[in-house]
A and B are shown apart, each in its own frame.
Chain A
Amino acid sequence: MSAEAAVPTGGHFSLAGLVKPLLQPLIAVAIAVVVGGLLVLSLGENPFEIYWLLISGSLVGWPNFLVTLQMMSPLLFTGLAVAISFRAGLWNIGAEGQMIIGALFAGIAGFAVDLPTFLHIPFCLAAAFLGGLLWALIPAVLRVWLNVNEIVVCLMMNPIALLFSGYVSTHLLKAPGPTNKLPDIAETAVLPTFSLYSQVNAGFIIGLALCLLFAAINGWTKKGFEWKIMGLAPRFAYYGGIKVPLHAVVVMMISGGIAGLGGAEQVLGEYRAFYDNFSPGYGFDGIAVAMLANFNPIGVVLAAFLFGALNGGSAVLQMMTGLSKYLVQVLQFIIVLILAAQFTWGWLRSRKNAITAQEDRLEPETEES
């Protein structure tokens, strides 16, 4: 597996150390660009023109750039949430559900409570963190105590979150009007936006800060190291004296909490109310982002930026050419497919190695620190 390349190693930097982790994702993106280009060609359009439109539509000019930042905001949270858990060997694919519950909590805290701004925003963020955390706690506890596979539980928790929040926002606390949503949050809970062109808001900065924080935790602290060892070889970690079950629960709760904060970014910054079924799948996009980032928090920022730019440029592409939004989605899916193929390949190889070696490997992966 390639996870060892992901972690920024504390003190020493070398050119190879910087380039190596970028290589695999770049190859995946390059293949996607080529395949996508052929696809565009078969549609009778000029691929260079289309790609230039995508790039200019996402990066050239403040409006376009700010929209890109808006599109990448939720992916910073969900991508980081998934990256943290995957790195520790916990397959939390429930970020979508955790984000929805976090959004619901933030939405309720936003309208039901009366507080001054400097308290209200932190209160809503805390509520969202708690919501995501609680939702992740269920698969975590089942995993640790009953050894139930967390992938299955996480996957099932996603639609439950959607339906539960749907029930709340269409029955229990619905705002008047034709849209299924909660009442608007109070002005005191709004994360400010900066431009007419984009809903990018202060939540973006929170997401960025979280990514940096976890890059530091991963690279510089004992916790970060223990989580990494857990992911690489849980049995080794256990024999090495790491409290694996406890750490597993903690990692899942942090992961869920961060996904929940992503929901708060949406509700407090972009929607200004909880909307039923608001997410077009940010939690699942987060899995792709985390994979592209090789579970590295700094990589999450870059990968989220790429996906944000693709989605941001998509609207301009549709405006200028009449091509459909699906072209951009196909590009994203190709990247995911290639990464998944590489991932599976690595997994198969490591299994084969493990079988032939007949014992846990203590190989290069644990060399440093």
Chain B
Amino acid sequence: MLKSILGRGLAVALAIGLGSSAYAQDKLKVAMITSESGLGDRSFNDMMVEGMKKAEADFGAEYVVIQPRAVSEFQSAIARAAGQGFDIIIGSSFDMIKPMQEVAKAFPDQKFGLVDVGPEPLGPNVVSTVTKDWEGSFLVGWIAAKTTKTGKIGFVGGKDIPIIHRFFIGYYYGAKMANPDVEVFESYSGTFTDPAAGKEYTLALINEGSDINYAVAGSTSAGVIDAAKETNTFAIGVDSNQNYMAPGNVLTSMMKRVDTQAYDMIKSIADGDFKGGEVLYYGLAEDGVAAAMDEYNDGLIAEDVLADVDMLKQKILTGEIVVPNYFDLEPGQKEMGKPPMATPPSVADAK
């Protein structure tokens, strides 16, 4: 009874919507739901729209962007989009896991996608992705070791927790592969929200001779970038393209390519091979991570180093290189990855 009322209400809304809009019936229709920060965040939301635009250009997918104002509005936004004739509804926030699961259960025929979340499958009609941040960190580690003038590079993490260690291990592995003699400093500011602490820790590393510091610390990262600007050294951004934050002093950013991930979801619908219930891993080989290049870091990285990126990608693709994932390491382990290399002291000496 209630359900039929709900259904009728939706049908009315649907009829109104379709009657007045210009959708052709056979076009692929996508709804993208932003996180509460919305468009213009220069981060995941903006990047995902790029993926939408590409899908529009490549196979004429129509997309709309729904911007909830708060986390509490996620579920109603997803629920009202479900059953409106969208071929897929794609979300972009960790906080959407629960709401999307709820709605996906109630709409088993609607397809959903969620980018950059955890390894747990979210339901038979939901595809989700995990970004191999350790491969992205490997890449920027390589670039840093090839670019440093002092032979010393640094890492400023947020809290001293496993998920952040994973970035460090990738970074360390990449740096040591590029140049076994490079020194890699590992430090944790203990906070994800304190730019001042980020700056302190970074200045300390710079004092020890590090001239490139990788910031994996949420908004603490702003302080790392600030320190680079002040001392005219380099910082490396994380997650989204942060090059603009200090043009000339951000060497590059380890970007999670949520645009590629969203694009592939739409493409799978177009190709008829939607992978509902699966968790897809996006690393260097899948273009799921990248070193951000734009007008703000133009010329900071040597041409031949940039050329290495394709070589590394190829080697990862063939399995010649396997970047170690911190979660696979045992405390005290002495070697890691393929080709095997010595683990950093924080792992080798751990009990």
Interface positions of A (Cβ within 8 A of B): 49, 52-53, 56-57, 60-67, 70-71, 166, 170-171, 177-180, 195-199, 266, 270-271, 275, 278-280, 311, 315-316, 318-322, 324-325
| B residues neighboring A (CB under 8 Å) | 2, 5-6, 8-10, 12-13, 16-17, 20-21, 31, 36, 38-39, 63-73, 75-77, 79-81, 84, 94-95, 102-103, 106, 191-193
Task: List 18 extra interface pairs beyond A64-B9, A322-B64, CB under 8 A.
Answer: A52-B16, A60-B16, A61-B13, A63-B6, A64-B13, A196-B102, A196-B103, A197-B76, A197-B79, A198-B76, A270-B72, A271-B71, A316-B13, A316-B80, A318-B65, A319-B64, A319-B80, A321-B64
B80 touches A315 (CB 8 A): yes
Cα A64 to Cα B11 with chains together (Å)? 12
- Min distance, Cβ A351 to any Cβ of chain B, angstroms: 37
**What's the nearest-Cβ distance from chain A to residue B188, in Å?**
15
From A166, A195, A316, B193 is in contact (CB under 8 Å) with: A166
The CA of A198 and the CA of B66, in the complex, are separated in Å by 16
B70, closest chain A residue (CB): A280
Contact partner, A325, options B67, B75, B79, Cβ 8 Å: B67
Question: Beyond A199-B72, A271-B71, is A62–B9 a contact (Cβ under 8 Å)?
Answer: yes
| Nearest CB of chain B from residue A323's CB, rounded to whole Å | 9
Residue of A nearest to B191 (CB): A171
Number of A-B contacts (CB under 8 A): 120
Q: Which chain A residues lie closer than 8 Å to B64 at the CB level? A: 318-322
Q: Which residues of B contact A67 (CB under 8 A)?
A: 76, 80
Would you call A320 and B20 a contact (CB within 8 A)? Answer: yes
Contact between B72 and A278 (Cβ–Cβ < 8 Å)?
yes
How far is B77's CA from A267's CA once the two chains are assembled, in angstroms?
A: 19
* Cβ-defined contact, A60 with B80, below 8 A: no
Which among B6, B71, B72, B77 has the greatest number of chain A C-beta atoms within 10 A?
A: B72
Q: Closest CB of chain B to A167's CB: distance in Å?
A: 8
A321 to B106, CA, bound (A): 25
Which residues of the partner chain B approach A53 to less than 8 Å between Cβ atoms?
Answer: 16-17, 20
Contacts of A178 in B (CB 8 A): 94
Expressed in whole angstroms, the minimum distance between the Cβ of A190 and any Cβ of chain B is: 14
A-B contact pairs, 16 of them (CB 8 A): A60-B13, A64-B9, A64-B80, A67-B80, A70-B72, A70-B76, A171-B193, A197-B75, A197-B80, A198-B75, A278-B70, A280-B69, A318-B67, A319-B31, A319-B66, A319-B80
State A34–B64 Cα separation when bound (angstroms). 26
Q: Could you tell me the distance between the alpha carbons of A179 and B75 in the complex, rounded to whole angstroms?
A: 17
A61 interface neighbour in B6, B20, B38, B81, Cβ under 8 Å: B6
Q: Which residues of chain A come closer than 8 Å to B38, judged between CB atoms?
A: 325
Question: Across chains A and B, which 5 residue pairs bring their CB atoms closest together, nearest first?
Answer: A61-B9, A270-B72, A320-B17, A280-B69, A325-B67
Once bound together, how far apart are the Cα atoms of A67 and B69, in whole Å? Answer: 13
A117–B106 CA distance with the chains assembled, in angstroms: 28
**Which A residues are in CB contact (< 8 Å) with B17?**
53, 316, 319-320
A-chain residues with CB within 8 Å of residue B75 when the two chains form the complex? 196-199
